[in-house]
Structure 1
Amino acid sequence: MYIFIIRRILSIIPVLFGITVFIFLIMHVIPGDITSILLGTEATPELKEQLKEKLGLNLPLYQQYWNWLLGVLVGDFGESLRTGAPILPEILNRFTLTFELTIFASIIAWVIAIPLGIIAGIHRNTKTDIGLRIVSLMGVSVPNFALATLLILVLSLQFNYFTPVDYVGFFENPLKNMERLFLPALVLGTAMAGSIMRMTRSSILEVLRQDFVRTARAKGIKERAVIFRHAFRNAMIPILTVIGMQIGFLLGGTVIVEQIFSLPGLGQYVLTGITQRDIPVVQGSILFIAVMFVTINLIVDLLYGYLNPRISYK
């Protein structure tokens, strides 16, 4: 097990290195000049050159990349070109909200998707199955921004309910925090539930055809025990894979929802950095999200062995 973990961590290093190169190059080919944005109407060629020298933007690209990479390796993600504030503390502060939103949305998705996916798999090709498949297809197909806008319009016009505009931390006031995050979590969880429900149905159908399920039924084991004790645990491997990927995507894909609901999360921080051409902010934020993504994949790989003892880490 320990050898496997070490090998997986070592395999992550070249992936993250490639990500740093990709992010850096992409940010430097995007049209726009940060010095013109910062100086505004006072942007003269002389002042622009002075600002570039001050910010280190006049150095060759490879040297800029090397300086940034050395800083990242010691936990220094640099400073915002707009505000001059350190980037990593801001990322960690905003990531707390994004992580909480992701977990809340994931719980909603699991509570909805896994039971309904099992029901659809058990009642294959019945009216129940067809109805649930239509529901899952709608969850996957409806864009987050459309569902978010629709919910806000319906609740405000029909029920005179308006989402609160101020964010309250969970430990500050748990009830207000959940009230603030419920709608955005519901929007994100709906799309996530559609994918998990479809995978749960397919996985359950595959496992129910296996010999060990037929043997369990032949022994007279109750159907509920066959489904949940034998079939579901073996069906969890592909479901867990989808869940891990979805959580990773949510950590970096809450931009639109955070913008619509005015949540000061990591997604909104990245979007602000892009619009303001704040290169260090975007580079640091995307790299942080990438690290979280590969960490989640590592955790999922380790859970495989717990769910299926036949998987050996050698």
Structure 2
Amino acid sequence: MTSYILRRLFMLVPVLFGVSIFIFLMMRVVPGDVAQTILGTDATPESLETLRNEFGLNDSYIKQYMNWMGGVLTGDFGESMRNGRDVFPEILSRFTLTFELTILAAIISWLISIPLGLLAAVKRNSATDITVRTISLLGVSIPNFAFATVLILILALFFNYSPPIGYVGLFEDPMKNLEIMLIPALVLGTTMAAAVMRMTRSTVLEVLRQDFIRTIRAKGAKERVTILNHALRNALIPILTIIGMQIGTLLGGAVIIEQIFSLPGLGQYVLTGITQRDLTVVQGSVLFISFVFVMVNLIVDILYAYLDPRINYK
């Protein structure tokens, strides 16, 4: 297992290298002048040239890339072209919010999806199963931004609710933080739950048809033990795969939800950087998000071996 983890960490280098080249080139082939975007249409040619020289935009792409990567390798992601703030500390502070939102959404998703998916599999073709499948289909079909908008409207009309303005850190005021984060996490969690619910139902049904489940039942094991200890555990690998993908995606920033609820998360930071053509912000954020996504996949792979002893990484 140790050698496998080391190999995966080593493979992280070419993956991030490829991502860095891709995002660097993408930000430069997009039409438009970065200096003109920052200074506006009233900028003089002299001020535009001064800004281009300040940020090295007149240098060759190779030199610009080497300067940027040289800083990244030493932990310096550069400064924002808009406000001059260091990019890396800004990414970390916003990632804290995104991480909390992701964990809350994931917990809500698991509490909803796994029990309901398991129940639907056990009671196949019953009214319960049909209800769960209908709910999951609606959850997959409705975009989270539409659900968020409708939920806010319902809460505002019937409970006089309005989304809190601003953000308070978890350790500053836990109750205020929970008040701010609960509704966005509920929106993301319920939309995440739909896909996990469907996967749980289908994989548990597949496991229940296998011979070892019949053997366990023939030995007189209680149905609860058969379902929870044997069927569910053997069905967890594909469920864990989709959960890992969802978490990895959300850790990159739930852009639309963060915009709707005015949360200063990583997704909103990247979106602002893109709209303002802030090259260092977008490059650093995408590289960091890629690192997080790869690490989440590595953790999921390690959990595979824990859940299924037959999996042996050499």
Normalised-by-shorter TM-score class: over 0.9
Alignment of structure 1 residues 150-161 onto 2, 5 Å? 150-161=150-161
Between the aligned partners of 1:61 and 1:81, the Cα distance in structure 2 is 17
Aligned match of 1:192: 192
Deviations 1:31-59 (A, max 9, x none): 22221123224422222112101111100
Alignment of structure 1 residues 128-147 onto 2, 5 Å? 128-147=128-147
SS at match of 2:40: helix
Structure 1: stretches of 5+ with no match in the other structure: none
SS at match of 1:171: coil
Deviations 1:103-159 (A, max 9, x none): 000000000000000011111122211111110111111111111111111111222
Structure 2: stretches of 5+ with no match in the other structure: none
CA contact (8 A) 1:98 1:254 kept: yes
Aligned match of 2:277: 277
Between the aligned partners of 1:84 and 1:66, the Cα distance in structure 2 is 20
Deviations 1:173-203 (A, max 9, x none): 1111111101110111111101110111111
Between the aligned partners of 1:42 and 1:163, the Cα distance in structure 2 is 38
Between the aligned partners of 2:312 and 2:277, the Cα distance in structure 1 is 47
CA contact (8 A) 1:24 1:283 kept: yes
The answer to whether structure 1 residue 118 and structure 2 residue 118 are counterparts is yes
Aligned match of 1:80: 80
Identity of aligned residues (%): 65
Normalising by structure 2, we get a TM-score of 0.98
Across the aligned residues of Structure 1 and Structure 2, the Cα RMSD in angstroms comes to 1.1
Between the aligned partners of 1:39 and 1:14, the Cα distance in structure 2 is 36
Aligned match of 1:12: 12
* Offset at residue 166 of structure 1 (A): 2.3
* Offset at residue 172 of structure 1 (A): 1.4
SS at match of 1:12: helix
Between the aligned partners of 1:39 and 1:262, the Cα distance in structure 2 is 26
Alignment of structure 1 residues 216-295 onto 2, 5 Å? 216-295=216-295
Between the aligned partners of 2:145 and 2:236, the Cα distance in structure 1 is 30
CA contact (8 A) 1:35 1:43 kept: no
Which runs of at least 4 in structure 1 moved beyond 4 Å after TM superposition? none
CA contact (8 A) 1:116 1:197 kept: yes
Between the aligned partners of 2:185 and 2:286, the Cα distance in structure 1 is 22
SS at match of 1:164: coil
Aligned match of 2:53: 53
Between the aligned partners of 2:152 and 2:29, the Cα distance in structure 1 is 38
Between the aligned partners of 1:127 and 1:8, the Cα distance in structure 2 is 46
Aligned match of 1:36: 36
